[in-house]
Amino acid sequence: MPRHFLSILELTPDEIHGLFKLTADLKAKQKSGKAEQLLKGKTLAMIFQKPSARTRVSFEVGMVQLGGHAVYLAPTEIGLGKRESAADVARVLSRYTDGMMARLFGHDLIEELARHASVPVINGLTDFNHPCQVLGDIFTILEHRGSLDGLTVAYVGDGNNMVHSWLNAAARLPMTLRLACPGGYDPDPAVVENAVQAGKSEIVLLRDPQKAVRGADVIYTDVWASMGQEAEAGARKEVFRPFQVNESLVRLAKPDVKVMHCLPAHRGDEITDGVMDGPHSIVFDEAENRLHVQKAIMVMLMKDG
Ligand code: CP
Ligand code: NVA
């Protein structure tokens, strides 16, 4: 059975730190023109049921930089679970490729792909989680702060797939994770409970964004309506208005607080232009690091020997 990457929970703390070391090494070598083609001749299939800019481009560029090739399969092409079962798609693509990355609606579908694939499957976002994003996020924090010691992250917004991956990260790495979500938009209680039971981190659920960000090292936010929730966007705008990350909220955190957003951002909704383009924002470093951390994940899973 190949090793897959569907969730941060599949990694030990040592493996996460090892991945960050490899990420830093790959990034430095790429920037100094000394990159090695660690996946020379390998091919990655990229299955998308949802739109993407960062995930699609960073995985494809990452494969090229590693000496391999990526095949983009658009939402209209494979018809995963409709034109053909996920199990059969997994069996067929395993005969052509050395790995698959999938961005899907249902998390059960990516689990089905992984169960039937004889090559590694990487999660490029489901309705449930987004593990590559949060690994890239924590690597970015590490770059800016130099260490994760005493880290307090305040997440402000919807208790969605991003939050689930943050909770899974907090189950593996010590941190204080404060979540400020409106009533009715909390993360899955089982994911919260798992993070609490892991005993590594302090997990705090709040309704008040101002309390959440007080003294925080990082403020993190995401869209109020995720992909697939477009019909709810209007109603959600009303509920989430008090959860906007704006200049007055940022002023309540540490003076050197970093503001993060997985992007794409809806400027003027969950984050203001002033914050996104301001001195605390590290959103574009964060976006860049998707490339470097995913190269490390692909090397970990797909490199021979
Ligand atoms: N953050 C992120 O995954 O971006 P895309 O949806 O553009 O891939
Ligand atoms: N929560 C967002 C994340 C996008 C990267 C979504 O699922 O649309």
Question: pLDDT (tens digit, 9 = 90+) per residue, 230-260?
Answer: 999 999 999 999 999 999 999 999 999 999 9
pLDDT digits (tens, 9 = 90+) for 150-184: 999 999 999 999 999 999 999 999 999 999 999 99
**Residues 276, 177 share a domain:** yes
Whichever domain contains 41, its CATH number is 3.40.50.1370
Share of the chain above pLDDT 70, in %: 100
Task: Supply the pLDDT for residue 269.
Answer: 98
User: Is residue 3 in some structural domain?
Assistant: no
> Which of 57, 107, 126, 222 is the pocket-test mutation for ligand 2 (most atoms within 8 Å of CB)?
222
How many residues are there in the chain? Answer: 305
**Residues 281, 143 share a domain:** yes
User: Is residue 120 in some structural domain?
Assistant: yes
Kindly give, in sequence order, each residue whose CB lies less than 8 Å from that of residue 11, ignoring residues fewer than 6 positions away.
5, 19, 172
Which ligand has its closest atom nearest to the C-alpha of 57? 1
**Residues 277, 137 share a domain:** yes
Could you list the residue range(s) of the whole structural domain that residue 203 is in? Answer: 133-286
Cα separation of 175 and 55, whole Å? 26
Query: Which amino acid residue places its CA nearest to atom 3 of ligand 1?
Result: 55
**Residues 161, 111 share a domain:** no
Q: What DSSP assignment string belongs to 191-221?
A: HHHHHHHH-SSEEEEES-HHHHHTT-SEEEE
**Residues 152, 262 share a domain:** yes
User: Is residue 148 in some structural domain?
Assistant: yes
**Residues 165, 55 share a domain:** no
- What's the pLDDT band for 305 if we cut at 50, 70, 90? confident
Q: How far is the CA of 33 from the centre of ligand 2 (A)?
A: 33
**Residues 281, 179 share a domain:** yes
**Residues 244, 147 share a domain:** yes
**Residues 295, 247 share a domain:** no
> Which of 160, 229, 271 is the pocket-test mutation for ligand 2 (most atoms within 8 Å of CB)?
160
What is the maximum alpha-carbon separation in the chain? 54
Domain count, the chain: 2
**Residues 119, 34 share a domain:** yes
**Residues 142, 264 share a domain:** yes
- What's the pLDDT band for 218 if we cut at 50, 70, 90? very high
User: Is residue 2 in some structural domain?
Assistant: no
**Residues 108, 186 share a domain:** no
Cα separation of 66 and 34, whole Å? 12
Nearest partner of 54 among 262, 220, 219, judged by Cα: 262
User: Is residue 1 in some structural domain?
Assistant: no
Which ligand has its closest atom nearest to the C-alpha of 286? 1
